[in-house]
């Protein structure tokens, strides 16, 4: 098979990008560079003295793992020095950041990012990931950024993607013309096209949810879980339960095998846990581009009008038929 590098692919496909062709190349090259740097550190976290809680707490009130802080800084530096991006919002930062280098001030784009999602899994060697969404700024170029540049609906994403740091490191992204996956050859530091035009199987046999929260689920949610477990060979049930507890890993498995990832609202977390801007929307764009769906249980995620940088929503994404099934069960809760 002819080896296509990520750089070749971006150049070949940049004509698909609805804006100045060189802009996408620059944008993605910054992300690729940062991903390689983070990948190197993640791969040696077990031996280097940078694992373990950093001591500080991030905006979520969670213990910041040192790699969280490192990854946030690496992506921020790479994006700022590239020039197309004028600011970013991150899970690790309370407010958005306006890049002040003269290079970035006239950038057309802002980036929302979860620099290292699933970081609580770092110490147990479970796959973790970076999740990113790219938007064009809406306020005047060269002027101070405004919150409205970040509180944009998911439908306004010009690109979205994730990096999974696992048994192999992959970068998966879309610019609205399908989803492509690239695998890193660490000996060369080069990403190669390994999963062209990824499609999520319409029907899946895997349901992915933290059933430890069962006592806090709605009745409709409980009935859907019972539905997943029911013996019904004609509809491939009972499904298999798979929950890694690392969103990027759970989502990536469903991209390849089909399935439904769920993080519903509960009595203890009435808005769910996952973040709309830098977790749910990027994966929603990817899921839809791959023939799947992403819902908050009632509404299409990418139509939700954001109200805050760290806003949480209930989240259901993956195989089209399974998302529609769970929405039917949740309707009874209304």
- By CB under 6 A, name the binding residues for ligand P6P: 117-118, 120, 210, 245-247, 250, 273
What does the DSSP assignment read for 209-249? --GGGGGGS-HHHHHHHHHHHS-BGGGTBSPEE---S-HHH
- Phi/psi-derived region of residue 118, left when phi > 0, alpha when psi is between -120 and 50, beta in every other case: left
- Measured at the alpha carbon of residue 273, what is the angle toward residues 261 and 43, in degrees to the nearest 5? 70
Q: 294 - beta bridge partners?
A: 317
The least distance separating ligand P6P from the CB of residue 92, rounded to whole angstroms, comes to 13
Cβ proximity to ligand P6P, 137 vs 275, nearer residue: 275
- In angstroms, the CA 287 to CA 283 distance is 6
CB of 129 to ligand P6P, least distance (A): 8
Nearer to ligand P6P, 51 or 246 (CB): 246
Give the residue with the Cβ less far from ligand P6P, 92 or 149. Answer: 92
User: Among residues 210 and 271, whose Cβ is nearest to ligand P6P?
Assistant: 210
Burial letters 112-146, b for 16+ CB under 10 A, else e: bbbbbbbbbbbeeeebbbbbbbbbbbeeeeeeebe
Q: Least distance (Å) from ligand P6P to the CB of residue 304?
A: 19
Nearer to ligand P6P, 41 or 279 (CB): 279
Least distance (Å) from ligand P6P to the CB of residue 117? Answer: 5
- Minimum separation from the CB atom of position 120 to ligand P6P (A): 5
């Amino acid at each position: 098979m002819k080896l296509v590098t990520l750089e070749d692919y971006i150049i070949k496909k940049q004509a698909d990008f609805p804006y100045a062709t060189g802009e996408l190349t620059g944008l993605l090259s910054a992300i690729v560079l940062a991903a390689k740097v983070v990948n190197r550190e993640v791969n040696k976290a077990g031996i280097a003295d940078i694992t373990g809680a950093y001591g500080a707490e991030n905006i979520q009130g969670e213990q910041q793992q040192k790699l969280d802080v490192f990854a946030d800084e690496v992506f921020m530096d790479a994006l700022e020095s590239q020039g197309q991006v004028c600011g970013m919002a991150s899970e690790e930062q309370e407010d958005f950041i306006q890049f002040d280098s003269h290079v970035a001030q006239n950038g057309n784009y802002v980036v929302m990012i979860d620099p290292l999602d699933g970081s609580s899994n770092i110490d147990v060697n479970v796959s973790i990931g970076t999740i990113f969404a790219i938007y064009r700024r809406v306020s005047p170029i060269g002027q101070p950024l405004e919150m409205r540049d970040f509180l944009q609906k998911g439908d306004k994403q010009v690109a979205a993607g994730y990096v999974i740091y696992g048994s192999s490191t992959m970068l998966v992204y879309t610019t609205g013309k399908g989803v492509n996956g690239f695998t890193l050859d660490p000996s060369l530091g080069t990403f190669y096209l390994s999963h062209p035009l990824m499609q999520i199987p319409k029907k899946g046999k895997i349901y992915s949810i933290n059933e430890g929260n069962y006592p806090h689920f709605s009745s409709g949610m409980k009935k859907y879980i019972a539905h997943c477990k029911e013996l019904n060979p004609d509809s491939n049930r009972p499904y298999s339960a798979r929950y890694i507890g690392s969103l990027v890993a759970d989502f990536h498995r469903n991209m390849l095998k089909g399935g439904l990832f769920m993080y519903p609202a509960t009595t203890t977390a009435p808005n769910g846990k996952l973040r709309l801007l830098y977790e749910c929307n990027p994966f929603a764009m990817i899921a839809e581009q791959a023939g799947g769906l992403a819902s908050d249980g009632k509404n299409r995620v990418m139509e939700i009008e954001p109200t805050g940088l760290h806003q949480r929503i209930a989240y259901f994404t993956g195989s089209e038929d399974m998302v529609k099934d769970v929405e039917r069960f949740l309707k009874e809760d209304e």
